[in-house]
């Protein structure tokens, strides 16, 4: 065998082949075989490389001779002939269609074959002229939804999700951090402010002028760059393979704190800070904080001592304002009088709430998710698989709920006998039905430790109807938390229009939390509702909505949103100890 394989790598490869088959219009039974094989690999307890070395993959249920041979070839060569053939067969334009909300590979092939189109622009035109609506199994509503999703994508074409931007930024910071002459390097702009979507990626470096040329050379000439958009001595811009623009600015080390504040923004925050400086006969700009001269301009010969951003805030009679809050959205009220806003931090989290397993649509077993949590130092995990209405996601029937509880009891007993300080809570992500009711009778609901209620269908309902639906659920005596309250998918699908400024106080009144769904595709509750949440003392939780072990780490994006919304640790449920949480849940 030429190289070692990881389970997730192999499962993702098999899933990709299944998607390609559907895009190519092949028999769905064959595609389903690759789906089943992907699930088998994901749930494999042992090392997949042992099965490949011994060529015993066919002993695993769900993997036949053909797929086993494909994987043996992949281990040897790094490619699979069937995948290469499909990539040649499927028009490249169709891959972008997969980003359209509600349009899966089978529907994509149907439209492509019937109308002989491959580009999104063509799809848009055919939705407008009625061609898509006339196809069997689609109709006018489908065409309208496709158009709506395309318009939504086009509106944000120049932006990307925070997790996508983070990968790019981390790569550039790594490339620059050990360059000769670099004294400090930081991400700035909207990424530093933990915005939910990112446009250009801003990076700031502190270095003496003598090193600028060498640093710029390293920036523009690395494997991430496909195009140099502009190059200067203190600023350069490049385009990455993902289509993102990255801007680098190099400043003198003594100007770095003020430059970091300036280039972090937001514009609204910077304007307010400059105005605050002027009222104190000072001038704030990207070079520093200065006394004013006779013409009310910055006297560059009389700077105030500034070694960090904190010094700038202190000179203006403010506590340090964390970057996430700098949106001109009430942050100055929180920092008046020199007391820094008390915001939740990643290290405050004691457990994971909202995770899925192989009992519904997750990729890991309860045991595997629990082990992943203990490895990360968490003390508890609330398993919240889908409820029965979500049949498409393997939602649990009542009988399967009871079976899952038994498995959780067994694992918890094992932890107790070993003296391991870890506990699994019995939870559910219950669908909120059209009438606002939850998905199980009360006698089942009351047996859960934690009930999250989420809307997964009917998001296009009128705002008042959706608000009523959410309020009815929030008032249910067995509901602890509302999940992803708008149902939005960032850059892909707009959420419901329910008035959250009315929902938030209602939920707080009924002692119902509203989660901050940390999945970077959602980040829902939106941070802009933080002020209302603070007014009514709304409880929340930073929930990864994890469907895999890696998904647990999405909590860091949720922490960014929670901080941006101004949540302190004491209003985030999963910062509580297990004992405190169970008491809170009743």
Return averaged pLDDT per consecutive 10 residues of the chain, 586 residues in all.
Answer: 74 92 90 90 83 92 92 90 92 87 88 92 92 92 88 78 96 96 98 96 97 96 90 93 92 97 96 96 96 90 96 96 96 87 96 97 95 98 97 94 98 97 98 97 98 95 96 98 96 91 98 98 97 96 97 98 97 98 95
CA-based angle 124:125:130, to the nearest 5?
Answer: 105
Token code pair at residue 108: 């994509």
Q: What is the pLDDT of residue 2?
A: 56
Q: What is the pLDDT of residue 156?
A: 66
d(Cα 457, Cα 464) in Å, to the nearest integer?
Answer: 16
Q: What is the pLDDT of residue 253?
A: 97
Q: What is the pLDDT of residue 514?
A: 98
d(Cα 415, Cα 424) in Å, to the nearest integer?
Answer: 10
User: H helices within 78-130, ranges in order?
Assistant: 81-89, 105-115, 120-128
321, 566 contact by CB (below 8 A): no
Q: Alpha carbon of 287 to those of 183, 237, 248, 278, 319: distances in Å?
A: 17, 21, 16, 16, 21
State the DSSP H helix or E strand holding residue 581, giving kind and residue range, or none if neither: helix 578-585
Burial profile 558-570: b = 16 or more Cβ within 10 angstroms, e = fewer: bbbbbbbbbbebe
175, 219 contact by CB (below 8 A): yes
Whose structure tokens read 């939106």?
A: 526
d(Cα 583, Cα 456) in Å, to the nearest integer?
Answer: 29
d(Cα 259, Cα 325) in Å, to the nearest integer?
Answer: 18
Phi-psi map region of 469: left, alpha, beta (phi>0 left; psi -120 to 50 alpha):
alpha
Domains of the chain with bracketed CATH: 7-155 (1.10.150.110), 157-251 (3.30.460.10), 268-341 (3.30.210.10), 346-585 (3.20.20.140)
State the DSSP H helix or E strand holding residue 431, giving kind and residue range, or none if neither: strand 423-431
- Count of all residues that appear for the chain in the document: 586
Q: Alpha carbon of 185 to those of 169, 211, 430: distances in Å?
A: 11, 14, 45
Enter the pTM of the model: 0.81
SS3 482: strand
Contacts of residue 357, defined as CB under 8 A and 6 or more positions apart, other chains included, come to 364, 365, 366, 368, 369, 383, 385
Q: Alpha carbon of 329 to those of 93, 152, 268, 475, 564: distances in Å?
A: 41, 25, 9, 30, 10
Q: Alpha carbon of 338 to those of 20, 311, 321, 327, 344: distances in Å?
A: 58, 12, 10, 19, 19
Q: What is the pLDDT of residue 103?
A: 84
What is the SS3 string spanning 289-353? EEEECCCCCEEEEEECCCCCHHHHHHHCCECCCCHHHCCCCCHHHHHECCCCCCCCCHHHCCEEE
Q: Helix crossing, 7-23 with 28-42: angle to 10°?
A: 170
Number of Cβ within 10 Å of residue 111's Cβ equals 24
For the stretch 402-408, contacts whose Cβ atoms lie closer than 8 Å and that sit 24 or more positions apart, written own/partner, are 404/359, 404/366, 405/447, 407/366, 408/366, 408/383
355, 361 contact by CB (below 8 A): no
Q: What is the pLDDT of residue 283?
A: 96
d(Cα 180, Cα 472) in Å, to the nearest integer?
Answer: 61
Number of Cβ within 10 Å of residue 53's Cβ equals 13
CA end-to-end distance (rounded Å), the chain: 54
d(Cα 412, Cα 400) in Å, to the nearest integer?
Answer: 18
413, 405 contact by CB (below 8 A): no
Burial profile 302-314: b = 16 or more Cβ within 10 angstroms, e = fewer: ebbebeebebbbe
């Amino acid at each position: 065998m030429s190289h070692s394989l990881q389970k997730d790598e192999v499962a993702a490869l098999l899933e990709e082949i299944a998607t390609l088959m559907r895009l190519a219009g092949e028999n769905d039974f064959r595609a389903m075989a690759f789906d089943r094989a992907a699930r088998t690999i994901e749930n494999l307890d042992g090392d997949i490389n042992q099965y490949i070395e011994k060529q015993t993959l066919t002993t695993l249920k769900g993997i036949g001779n053909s797929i086993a041979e494909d994987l043996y070839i992949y281990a040897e060569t790094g490619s699979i002939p069937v995948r290469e053939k499909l990539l040649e067969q499927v028009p490249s334009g169709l891959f972008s269609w997969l980003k359209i909300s509600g349009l899966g590979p089978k529907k994509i092939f149907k439209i492509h074959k019937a109308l002989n189109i491959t580009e999104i622009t063509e799809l848009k035109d055919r939705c407008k002229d009625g061609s898509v609506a006339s196809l069997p199994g689609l109709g006018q509503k489908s065409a309208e939804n496709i158009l709506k999703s395309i318009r939504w994508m086009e509106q944000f074409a120049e932006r990307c999700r925070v997790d996508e931007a983070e990968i790019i930024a981390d790569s550039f910071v790594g490339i620059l951090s050990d360059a000769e002459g670099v004294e400090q390097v930081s991400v700035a702009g909207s990424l530093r402010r933990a915005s939910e979507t990112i446009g250009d990626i801003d990076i700031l470096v502190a270095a003496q002028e003598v090193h600028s040329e060498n640093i710029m050379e390293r920036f523009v000439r690395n494997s991430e760059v496909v195009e140099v958009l502009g190059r200067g001595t203190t600023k350069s811009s490049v385009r990455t393979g993902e289509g993102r623009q990255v801007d680098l600015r190099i400043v003198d080390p003594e100007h770095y704190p003020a430059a970091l504040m300036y280039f972090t923004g937001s514009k609204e925050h910077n304007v307010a800070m400059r105005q605050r400086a002027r009222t104190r006969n000072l001038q704030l700009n990207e070079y520093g904080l200065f006394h004013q001269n006779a013409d009310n301009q910055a006297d560059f010969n009389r700077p105030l001592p500034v070694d960090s951003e904190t010094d700038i805030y202190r000179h203006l009679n403010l506590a340090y304002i964390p970057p996430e809050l700098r949106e001109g959205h009430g942050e100055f009220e929180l920092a008046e009088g020199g007391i820094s806003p008390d915001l939740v931090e990643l290290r405050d989290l004691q457990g994971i709430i909202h995770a899925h397993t192989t009992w519904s649509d997750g990729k890991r077993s309860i045991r595997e998710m629990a082990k992943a949590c203990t490895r990360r130092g968490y003390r508890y995990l609330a398993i919240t698989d889908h409820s029965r209405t979500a049949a498409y996601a393997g939602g649990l029937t009542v009988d399967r709920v009871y079976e899952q509880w038994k498995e959780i009891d067994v694992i918890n007993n094992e932890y107790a006998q070993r003296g391991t300080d870890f506990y699994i809570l019995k939870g559910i992500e219950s669908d909120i039905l059209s009438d606002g009711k939850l998905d199980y009778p009360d006698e089942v609901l009351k047996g859960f430790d934690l009930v999250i209620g989420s809307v997964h269908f009917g998001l296009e309902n009128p705002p008042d109807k959706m608000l009523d639906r959410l309020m009815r659920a929030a008032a249910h005596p067995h509901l602890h938390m509302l999940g992803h309250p708008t149902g939005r998918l960032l850059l892909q699908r707009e959420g419901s229009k329910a008035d959250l400024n009315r929902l938030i106080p209602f939920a707080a009144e009924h002692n119902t939390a509203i989660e901050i769904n940390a999945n970077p595709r959602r980040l829902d509750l939106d941070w802009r509702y933080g002020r209302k949440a603070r007014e009514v003392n709304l409880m929340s939780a930073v929930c990864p909505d994890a469907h895999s072990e890696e998904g647990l780490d999405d909590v860091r994006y949720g922490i960014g949103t929670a901080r941006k919304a101004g949540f302190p640790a004491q209003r985030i449920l999963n910062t509580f100890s297990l004992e405190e949480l169970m008491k809170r849940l009743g």
